Amino acid sequence: MIHTIKSLYDNGNGLGKKAIARELNISKNTVRKYLSMDEEAISAYLAETDRHKKLDDYRGYIVHLLETFPLLSAVKVQRKLQSKCPELVLSSRTIRRYVNQLKETVAGKQVRHYQPVLDHVPGEQCQVDPGELRGVLINGLETTVHFVVFVLSFSRLMYVALSPKPINTERFIQMHDAAFRYFGGVTAECVYDQTKLVVIKEEYRELTVNARFNEYASHAGFSIHACEGYDPESKGKVEAGVKYVKGNALYGEVFDNWSALETYMSNWLDSVANQRLHATTGKAPQVYYDQIEREQMKPYLSPKTVQLNGQRLNRKADKTGLISFKANKYSVPMVYQRGNVGIDTIADQLHIYDLETGEEVAVHTLTTGKGKIIKNTHHYRDPAVRIEKLERTLQLQIGTTTAETLCQLVKTSSPKIYKDQLAAVNDLLKTYQPIEPSLLDKLCQRPRLTATMLRDYLQAYTDAPARLKPEKEELVSTGALQCFAAIRTQEATHEQL
């Protein structure tokens, strides 16, 4: 910028100060200041290492906001910054210029693209990563310890949750609950890799999120951000944290039992991990957290589902696909035979969930009494397969085109009992064989058709085949009958008079 101004001014032989200001879209005072500097002053100015914009420290956070919300105004950015960092005092004009410059260089939002490390924004981000260490001696046995590490990006405060078994969705949620209670609040977002505990699948960077975990995140009040695959740098703090837990906390230790391990980990967090001077911040995470970040954390209350989980919300289905609840048994889809499911009661209904995905797989109305078995017949067979078989049978009876028309008519008339209606239609057509194609054509032209209506039509035709006449003859006959009925009515009235 300085060299550009000097070249445009050209020692008074080029543009004037006002013209240079207009050309470069800067103030006249800035032009005057730089023109008054000699070469020595310019060199000293450019060499000054402390010369940087205050907002550069918050650039990552602002870029993150613009990536997520491309149309965000500078005023809204300023309000968000001041809510997170009240000590930052800058004019609206300064922030507007900085944001406008970033908007010229920052790309539009990408689906689930994570901008790394929001170091300078307290209470904004927590990085989460599962890990495991094999061969830990517990009660004399080599045991695999599963754990999840939580690291706050600003203060580096850490929490470690342990599990003796591989971690499923419900346990993962319990671990988050314990971490947020340890921190005394929840961050605005949590960052993960593409573990199945969070992301079920990815296709073209479109992510299908674990429904059960997403429900918990919504209740807890934090947003989920998933890194791109094979991109550990996007959550480098917690990646380092996992190594730290393995090497500094667990490796080389021997424990009498699992309870001793949990006590040791709690003491290690409080006396070692969160009290050490962090190499990057130069401060103890616990001290730094208490000084600045604690007040920026969002309040956290354990959702009801977390409080109840592990007490009475898990049930194991038996070999017949039934689970027990309050002295009665309820069916689940047969795919869950001998498997575990989650349950919850809402009003007078029992809701059954897949523990891995959180998807609702069955709903039953709760019953009173004891020893009753409540079944949903669809759990023991696939209705779609049955319907497809019935439709093929009908096609073999009356032809593909006519059958498709008839099926659509019956389905439109009785969508909720289509399978049962279709079975009845097949039986009726077999019973009343042979059937005139013209009769089937007339039936297909009706606005609606049910199995009972079909039975009545077929029975009427069987009793009086001559009724199947062209439309015009039918209209004439109907008109004649109406006239005859009118004459008879008039005669009866005349006789009464």
* pLDDT one-digit tens code per residue, 302-320: 887 675 444 446 788 888 8
Is the pLDDT assigned to residue 328 strictly greater than 80? yes
Domain identity same for 156 and 251: yes
Average pLDDT, the chain: 80
Instruction: State whether 168 and 251 are in the same domain.
Output: yes
pLDDT at position 320: 85
The stretch 122-145 carries a mean pLDDT of 92
What pLDDT sits at residue 9?
A: 74
Q: Is residue 118 part of a domain?
A: no
Q: Does some domain include residue 256?
A: yes
Residues 141 and 276 placed together within one structural domain of the fold = yes
Residues 152, 208 within the same domain: yes
Q: Are residues 134 and 204 in the same domain?
A: yes
**pLDDT tens-place string over residues 40-56:** 666 666 555 444 577 87
Q: What angle do CA 86, 90, 96 make, to 5 degrees?
A: 115
Same domain, 137 and 38: no
- Total domains in the chain come to 6
Do 137 and 262 belong to one domain?
Answer: yes
Q: What whole-number distance in Å separates Cα of residue 339 and Cα of residue 318?
A: 8
Integer Cα distance of 316 and 324 in angstroms: 8
**Domain annotation covers residue 341:** yes
pLDDT band at residue 65 under the 50/70/90 scheme: confident
The verdict on 182 and 162 lying in the same domain is: yes
**pLDDT per residue as tens digits for the range 367-424:** 877 788 988 876 766 666 778 888 988 989 889 888 899 999 998 998 888 888 999 9
Q: What is the pLDDT of residue 106?
A: 63
List of residues 6+ apart from 51 with CB closer than 8 A: 45
139: left (phi over 0), alpha (psi -120 to 50) or beta: left
Q: 230 and 244 share a domain?
A: yes
CA atoms within 13 A of residue 206's CA, in its CB half-sphere: 2
- B/e letters for 252-268, b = 16+ CB within 10 Å, e = fewer, are eeebeeeeebeeebeeb
Q: Kindly indicate the confidence band of residue 288, based on its pLDDT and cuts at 50, 70 and 90.
A: very high
pLDDT for residue 482: 55
**What is the pLDDT at residue 236?**
60
Last residue of a domain, one of 330, 359, 380: 380
Answer yes or no: is 254 within a domain: yes
Strands 328-331 and 373-374: parallel
Q: Say what the pLDDT of residue 310 is.
A: 44
Last residue of a domain, one of 237, 271, 304: 304
pLDDT surpassing 70 at residue 117: no
Q: Among 333, 353, 336, which Cα is nearest to 345's? A: 353
Domain range for 423 is 383-463
Q: State residue 179's pLDDT score.
A: 93
Looking at residue 75, what is its pLDDT? 80
- Judge whether 174 and 159 are in contact, CB under 8 Å: no
**230: in domain:** yes
Q: 139 lies in a domain?
A: yes
Say how many residues make up the chain. 497
- Same structural domain, 225 and 349: no
pLDDT of 474 reads: 44
Residue with more model confidence, 237 or 176: 176
Residues 340 and 390 in one domain: no
Pair (290, 164) in one structural domain: yes
Position 33 pLDDT exceeds 90: no
Higher per-residue pLDDT: 163 or 15: 163
CATH of residue 280's domain is 3.30.420.10
Which single residue is written with the structure tokens 């990646």?
239
The DSSP secondary-structure symbol of 109 reads P
Q: CA-CA distance, 13 to 33, in Å (whole number)?
A: 18
Q: What is the mean pLDDT of residues 222-231?
A: 74
Asked if residue 264 is part of any domain, the answer here is yes
Q: Which residue has the higher pLDDT, 35 or 471?
A: 35
- Which pLDDT value is given to residue 343? 84
Note whether residue 115 is domain-resident.
no
- Determine what percent of the chain is predicted with pLDDT higher than 70: 80
Token pair of 472, please? 């015009």
What pLDDT does residue 116 have? 45
What residue type is assigned to position 4 of the chain?
T
